[in-house]
Amino acid sequence: MSGDRFPARYYLWDRREKKSSLLFSARPKLEGLQLAATKPFDFTARDGMGLHGYLTLPPGIAARNLPTVVAVHGGPWWRDSWGFNPLLQTARQSRLRVVEVNFRGSEGFGKKYLHAGDKQWGLKMETDVLDAKKWAIDSGIADPHRVAIAGGSYGGYATLAAAALYPDEFTCAFEQYGPSNLFTLYDSMPPYWAATVRKVFIDRVGNPDDPTDREMMKKISPLFSANRIKIPMLIAQGANDVRVKQAESEQIVAAIAKNGGRATYVLYSDEGHGFRRAENNLDIYARMEKFLADNLDGRFEPMEGERAPGSTAVVREIGLPSSSATPEATASP
């Protein structure tokens, strides 16, 4: 059993007595703590399509006009679900509201909902995210001047696209292993994607061999609009990622540097697509907390040292004043 305000609990069911007894909690140290509640909400996109999402509120704080993070899930053929989410609880500690968006193209709401996202990367799938932000502002939940966007994988793409294609919408952006150029993403797809996943991408994202699709794919690739990025960025990447390779992050970081933007780029030498090592997750969560606190006025717990103990993080700072930069931070991308 699990819920939004407690971790998974495992029970033994006695069929004869029709009673259950607790075996153990997956995270016993969290038992008894006041955690954030997650509630579903519905909203209407600008074209009239009904959409769904989840709102997580920090406990003990009036639900009005607080800094907010719009979180975009990966896949994109996946979905956010109700339940316990450690990352959402991390945001709760920072007193941030979190808006999760099941934009068109998300699974779990029927085929019409899913296929409404076909060839809508950077287009209607992106404006669904903007409309969820607008819903939070219009509802009095979010401070319009303190809204961040965050996501990994496709969510990382959507974060880069928001910063590049809709540069006035968000205060700052945190993205992990998101593709910045659809053409290089296609060219670098792993061999085991060749027979199945590549065809799905051609059908649902675009065909680079079709002139019309190719023009659209260039328009929605954040790299080609990187000169428009003006908000602070936190970008994280695993060096061993075979799905969204290191070059996807390296080229957008280089473009941000070339155009005088601001970014913190964190590379983990022993991670792939989605970080697995606890030390690295602790490191990036700590950096996320501070980044959001610096830009949204939230709370954070300072990290001791340059990186979390045992983490392989290598950090490059782009756009910092020279007085505060380290030798590693001043290296060119």
Within-domain flag for 252: yes
Within-domain flag for 331: no
Q: Which domain holds residue 25?
A: 1-33
Within-domain flag for 206: yes
Within-domain flag for 92: yes
DSSP H/E element including 258: helix 246-258
Is 38 a residue whose pLDDT tops 80? Answer: yes
Domain co-membership, 58 together with 86: yes
- The CATH number assigned to the domain holding 64 equals 3.40.50.1820
Tens digits of residue pLDDT in 153-183: 999 999 999 999 999 999 999 999 999 999 9
Q: What is the 3-state secondary structure (H, E, C) of 101-120?
A: EECCCCCCCCHHHHHCCCCC
Domain co-membership, 14 together with 125: no
Domain co-membership, 11 together with 41: no
Q: What's the mean pLDDT in 61-71?
A: 87
Catalytic residues: 153, 241, 273
Domain co-membership, 241 together with 286: yes
CB atoms within 10 A of CB 80: 22
Domain co-membership, 130 together with 258: yes
Domain co-membership, 200 together with 294: yes
What pLDDT score does 320 carry?
62
Domain co-membership, 178 together with 318: yes
- Between the alpha carbon of residue 179 and those of residues 74, 240, 246, the distances in Å are 11, 15, 9
Domain co-membership, 206 together with 233: yes
Within-domain flag for 1: yes
Picking from 141, 169, 140, the residue whose alpha carbon sits closest to that of residue 72 is 169
Q: How many domains does the chain have?
A: 2
What pLDDT score does 85 carry?
85
Within-domain flag for 205: yes
End-to-end CA distance of the chain: 47
Domain co-membership, 7 together with 113: no
Average pLDDT of the chain, as a whole number = 92
Residue 87: partners with Cβ closer than 8 Å, 6 or more residues away: 71, 285
Domain co-membership, 286 together with 193: yes
Domain co-membership, 20 together with 57: no
Domain co-membership, 170 together with 288: yes
Within-domain flag for 164: yes
User: In 3-state terms, the chain is what percent helix, strand and coil (to 5)?
Assistant: 35, 25, 45
Within-domain flag for 333: no
- Percent of the chain whose pLDDT exceeds 90: 78
What pLDDT score does 328 carry?
34
Tens digits of residue pLDDT in 239-291: 999 999 999 999 999 999 999 999 999 999 999 999 999 999 999 999 999 99
